[in-house]
Structure 1
Amino acid sequence: MAAVSEWVEGARPRTLPNAIAPVVAGVGAAVALDAFSWWQSLLALAVSLALIIGVNYANDYSDGVRGTDDNRVGPLRLVGSGTASPRAVLSAALVSLGLAGVLGLLLVAVTGRWWLLAMGALCLAGAWFYTGGRRPYGYHGFGEVAVFLFFGLAGVLGTVYVQAGTLSWTAAGCAVAVGCLSTAVLTANNLRDIPTDTASGKRTLAVRLGDTGTRRLYLVLVTVPYLVSFALGIGNPALVLAVISSALLIRPVRVMLSDATGPALIPVLKDTGLAMLAWAALTTLALSVT
């Protein structure tokens, strides 16, 4: 039986910035619309965290039973390592996704934003079919697109809309920026896994693009948020404050420009996640004080 610490590691806590940053940025956009609600924001955060933990456990389960995690570099794989049974990990995934669904339904019910139910259903389906089902889309190069949509556009815009009942260009810019940084985290992860994914038959976007193409994609993805900051700064100069977060990308960019592979790429995921959180926090701070 897996220990509590192993279950925590299996939840992949380093991916939590992908769930937190969209809500933080969405809060900033809601503040700019004079529509901030602390309890709605916290509930949205709980939904986002439960969703990404569910995704991670579902990924662990599906990859584990397929045998594609047997030689994986990186965090502990509960099923692949034999630390926990497939049934136990599947149960953890379903409980987490179920909690996300219940909390999302509660948020929709108390705010009356009923059309968000459709978005919530898509998020839950996307969480499972990323590596689950007969033809998981994550195995065919669409994982990055899903992350951009679910932990960028849906995460930010959903947080704004549930509070304000409307959207804005600022909200859209924040959604694109966070989506790009979140996608950059997955891109770095999949670059690290190119050898094992190729061997197991997974055709991720990184496998399709190859080593050089994937590194270039990462560089583009981490550049876009700062272009967004300058674009939004035309109307509100304080938003350029978020550019400070680019300092956190100096090390990962250097690694991506080198020939680093395997475990040497693991710090890139952490640093990119921290840069994403910092960008979201600084943008929200700028929107709050102006």
Structure 2
Amino acid sequence: MISPLRSQSELSTAKYRRDWRVWWRLFRPHTLTAAFVPVSIGTALAIHVTNINIPLFAAMLIASLLIQAATNMFNEYYDYKRGLDNAESVGIGGAIVRDGIEPKTVLLLAFSFFGIAMLLGIYICANSSWWLALIGTICMAAGYFYTGGPVPIAYTPFGELAAGFFMGIMIILISFFIQTGEITLLPVLVSIPIAVLVGAILLANNIRDLDGDKKSGRKTLAILVGRTNAIRILAGMFVVSFIWMIGLVMIKLVSPWTLIVFFSVPKAIVAVKGFVGKTKPIEMMPAMKATAQTNTQFGFLLTIGLLISYWF
């Protein structure tokens, strides 16, 4: 027979594990690669130009992850406040509606993450350029107003564009600049396919949530063009990203080694096929996951290709 003391201990351990998982889900960890990948690519491009400042790289990486996690929390908070999330909602962290965490706690944690990111930003600016303070503030504001404010970006047709620009292009350029002190054409062009794939993650999310978003009054791109055309656009975004890399190799801006990104093509195919013929959000979750994995695989492979081309 199990003693009452031991049973209480086991219950406490189970509760701890459950609480830990609740907080982890709040961060929406599957989205964090959208911050990690651009920093890695920008730094991998910089290594061709200069010696890498590791502390600056670490500060940029942590700040980007914190901003992404905070953006996810703002999303969780404001969707709850607007009545868009409930215990049955698919694809959310669910910390508020399912796990009972106080909304104000989620909001406070999000602003705390922004605060830490700002401190890291001060360190980055002090070791590069104070102009980045303005740029960083704009990027953080975009993270907040994505779901916050009177007219959230996520509720408009411009969500994919905003996410791709700030989480793709801007992070790569900042990561390159803080190491080299300049912006050249190369990081701009290399950032384009990453921006497109980050936008694809948002489009996939909006395809999954199309029916619910329409009822709540959102005007996302997926709603405006319809489910079938949205899936076609998603497929087109994948195609553009891969063809873009071929073009960069053909004009000799990057090494043929970067074409190892094509190993992520199967995951992109899985993503597109996973949406075809599906209408229920739970049915489209594998496709949504495959879209995010395509971005992750593409980005990591591109980083590896850039590093191999430097070493060889």
User: What TM-score do you get using the length of structure 2 for normalisation?
Assistant: 0.87
The answer as to whether partners of 1:19 and 1:151 remain within 8 angstroms in 2 is yes
Q: Matched residue of 1:39: which SS?
A: helix
Aligned partner letter, 1:208: L
Matched, 1:256 2:275: yes
Aligned partner letter, 2:259: V
The answer as to whether partners of 1:147 and 1:183 remain within 8 angstroms in 2 is yes
* Structure 2 match to 1:64: 80
The answer as to whether partners of 1:229 and 1:243 remain within 8 angstroms in 2 is no
Name which structure has the greater RCO, CA cutoff 8 Å, separation 6+.
1
Structure 1: state its 5+ residue gaps.
none
* Structure 2 match to 1:214: 230
Aligned partner letter, 2:233: L
1:256–1:169 distance in 2 versus 1, CA, 3 Å: farther
Q: Which runs of 4+ in 1 moved over 6 A?
A: none
Matched, 1:142 2:158: yes
Aligned partner letter, 1:73: V
* Structure 2 match to 1:267: 286
Rounded Cα–Cα distance in structure 2 between residues aligned with 1:66 and 1:258: 30
* Structure 1 match to 2:296: 277
Matched, 1:99 2:113: no
The answer as to whether partners of 2:208 and 2:288 remain within 8 angstroms in 1 is no
Aligned partner letter, 2:156: H
1:263–1:283 distance in 2 versus 1, CA, 3 Å: same
Aligned partner letter, 2:226: G
Deviation, structure 1 residue 3: 2.1
Quick one: percent identity of the two aligned structures?
28
Q: Matched residue of 1:103: which SS?
A: helix
State the Cα RMSD in Å.
1.9
Structure 2: state its 5+ residue gaps.
1-14
Rounded Cα–Cα distance in structure 1 between residues aligned with 2:308 and 2:93: 42
Q: How many residues align?
A: 289
Matched, 1:162 2:178: yes
User: What TM-score do you get using the length of structure 1 for normalisation?
Assistant: 0.93
Structure-to-structure mapping, 1:180-191, within 5 angstroms: 180-191=196-207
What is the CA deviation profile of residues 33-60 of structure 1, one whole-angstrom value per residue up to 9, with x for unaligned ones? 2343222222111011000100000111
* Structure 2 match to 1:232: 248
Rounded Cα–Cα distance in structure 2 between residues aligned with 1:42 and 1:177: 24
Rounded Cα–Cα distance in structure 2 between residues aligned with 1:132 and 1:10: 17
Larger radius of gyration: 2
Rounded Cα–Cα distance in structure 2 between residues aligned with 1:27 and 1:19: 13
Deviates more, 1:183-192 or 1:2-11: 2-11
